[in-house]
Structure 1
């Protein structure tokens, strides 16, 4: 009798448990449907803004505030995505600056990791520079560089801690309805003391934007962020990616090509041909010189972001650079925190080309 009673009780609890489970998850699905619409639950095409390394970004709507937002759903299959989510919430929620993408809220329930940001009406910088969207005028481009420099100065100098972004690139620079630039995606960012201003970690970032010493040591610093800023500055001036195979072999690495043109006193020849010479020559030359200064292979010769802003605003003289780009060789033990939009690598040696 005791066995029969125990079995009957267990069966009843199991049935109740299954009923409760189904009801809860049905309700959860209904709530998700109200918040994000059918496209979030079923379509994966409608309302989709883009796909990053650790998840998909959708366009959402907040009824209470009558506001459209960007909703990032972290991939459940990505362990690195969970780390990115935690870093994003920890760091960017503490930051407030006009040139940083604002994190509105987050949610982590029933295995879902959701980040909600302000919606940037004009998407990301790379879609204009490299993907054929409307041509950005020179005035807009120069302002974007100034906005990015302002954001980086805030991260490096103005907070209680120094924030190392570690993944500054064109696709992480968002543009609002007035083409004001805002730096986003803090999933790889780290907080460090101002006195130290560097951190040895696993190698993280995106190929083409990584400073050579990061590859060698895995050490992120203000100088490595400045290097990435310099690459973006050159991309904005030249209208092409830092690494693009469709060009002649001598022009494939953007940094090397621009430095060779500088050494040959043909610096303005690298200006984006799509601009059809509609740019301020002094500003263009200034931006290219700043870009080369920031991507100097030796981090000790790079400017601080404060010095960069001074030159960008024509408040300080341009740097004096060698006509030939210095060469640096590094033997690297590379670990697997390369940004997921790029291939991962095992142990290898890297030669930074001239």
Structure 2
């Protein structure tokens, strides 16, 4: 690749049948760091195959709608990595690969998962830093461990710091569009690192929003996105608020098997606030072993961020000021107002190969 050239085309031969190949071509804009060694490196297929023992099943860390993730060790540096292998059948996965490489390669922040390298030689592969404690989802909902309160509060602050960087501190505003517990990874010290930028979009700071196809994960999507599919800083803040409430309450945003009044986490917490029983929603697994002032703060910030009207939500900077006790708790109304737009009662959900929607179900 030539230096000082932002745009280039690459073509990838995608094997669909044993003796048949189709050509898929797409454009991806990369910064100069790909040519001068400052950013992620290009791997050969053989390097990443060897690192993962040829993508052995016992190295698999997990699997999503667009492919599986494997633990690997780079032979030349003994570095542990997590290798995402895009599914051969996923055209949406190909788009996510392009978005991921284009966007995350430009980002540098301690609370973002670091992209180590990429490969589109025989398959679409992405290599990330390996994070010892896996995803927040595993700890909160799958019993991998009981996260103590101090760590939970630190995770929220770390996630907020990452979002501030994406929204306000870079050359472009980055809309993540898929903030959820499963995309928040934890390092050896349980520091939060936001990952999976497959649905992310770059927008100009002055614009701050983008009309696009509905994308994200059910339970985390802001209500205004259902009507217009308009991603914005405010819709990212909504998703952040949902995760904040999940961390405080120790349950998923949607629990279909719960009693009707408790299925939606957001509605359940709003009702507790209205009845002046807010601390009653705190995660019972903590056995009341938490700082009550911090718990109250976390729940207030969570509700502030999930306000149904985008204009009533805080910026992520305002949320951070409250979380750091540099500003007063928000003045929330006892009953959340109904937004002044209609939300469709039904819509199509597809978990793979979406043609008009990019929505996934929480796992």
TM-score range, shorter chain: 0.7 to 0.9
SS of the equivalent of 2:113 reads: coil
Name the residue aligned to 1:126.
137
Q: Describe the shift of the 1:224–1:33 C-alpha distance in structure 2 as closer, same or farther (beyond 3 A).
A: closer
Matched, 1:275 2:291: no
Matched, 1:213 2:224: yes
The equivalent position to 1:109 in structure 2, one of 107, 121, 142, is 121
Name the residue aligned to 1:227.
238
The equivalent position to 1:296 in structure 2, one of 288, 307, 324, is 307
Which whole-Å CA distance do the structure 2 matches of 1:248 and 1:212 have between them? 22
Question: C-alpha displacement at 1:119, in angstroms?
Answer: 0.3
Matched, 1:66 2:78: yes
Which whole-Å CA distance do the structure 2 matches of 1:194 and 1:180 have between them? 28
Q: Describe the shift of the 1:331–1:313 C-alpha distance in structure 2 as closer, same or farther (beyond 3 A).
A: closer
Question: C-alpha displacement at 1:330, in angstroms?
Answer: 2.0
Aligned-CA RMSD value: 1.7
The equivalent position to 1:315 in structure 2, one of 315, 321, 326, is 326
The equivalent position to 2:276 in structure 1, one of 258, 265, 276, is 265
> 1:238–1:270: 8 Å Cα contact kept in structure 2?
yes
Alignment of 1:74-223 (within 5 A): 74-110=86-122, 112-223=123-234
Name the residue aligned to 2:295.
284
SS of the equivalent of 1:109 reads: coil
Which whole-Å CA distance do the structure 2 matches of 1:33 and 1:191 have between them? 31
The TM-score normalised by the length of structure 2 is 0.83
Name the residue aligned to 1:336.
356
SS of the equivalent of 2:256 reads: coil
Q: Describe the shift of the 1:247–1:175 C-alpha distance in structure 2 as closer, same or farther (beyond 3 A).
A: same
Matched, 1:56 2:46: no
For structure 2, list consecutive stretches of 5 or more residues without a partner in the other structure: 1-43, 349-354
Which whole-Å CA distance do the structure 1 matches of 2:200 and 2:266 have between them? 24
SS of the equivalent of 1:46 reads: helix
For structure 1, list consecutive stretches of 5 or more residues without a partner in the other structure: 1-27, 344-354
Question: C-alpha displacement at 1:338, in angstroms?
Answer: 2.8
Which whole-Å CA distance do the structure 1 matches of 2:342 and 2:195 have between them? 30
SS of the equivalent of 1:310 reads: helix
Q: Describe the shift of the 1:137–1:31 C-alpha distance in structure 2 as closer, same or farther (beyond 3 A).
A: closer
> 1:205–1:337: 8 Å Cα contact kept in structure 2?
no
Q: Describe the shift of the 1:285–1:56 C-alpha distance in structure 2 as closer, same or farther (beyond 3 A).
A: same
> 1:212–1:330: 8 Å Cα contact kept in structure 2?
no
Q: Which has the higher helix share?
A: 1
Decide which structure has the larger Cα Rg and report it.
1
What does the per-residue CA deviation read over 1:70-126, in whole Å, with 9 as the maximum and x for residues that have no partner?
Answer: 00000111110000000000000000000000000000013x000000001000001
Alignment length (residue pairs): 311
Question: C-alpha displacement at 1:63, in angstroms?
Answer: 1.7
Question: C-alpha displacement at 1:219, in angstroms?
Answer: 0.3
SS of the equivalent of 1:327 reads: coil
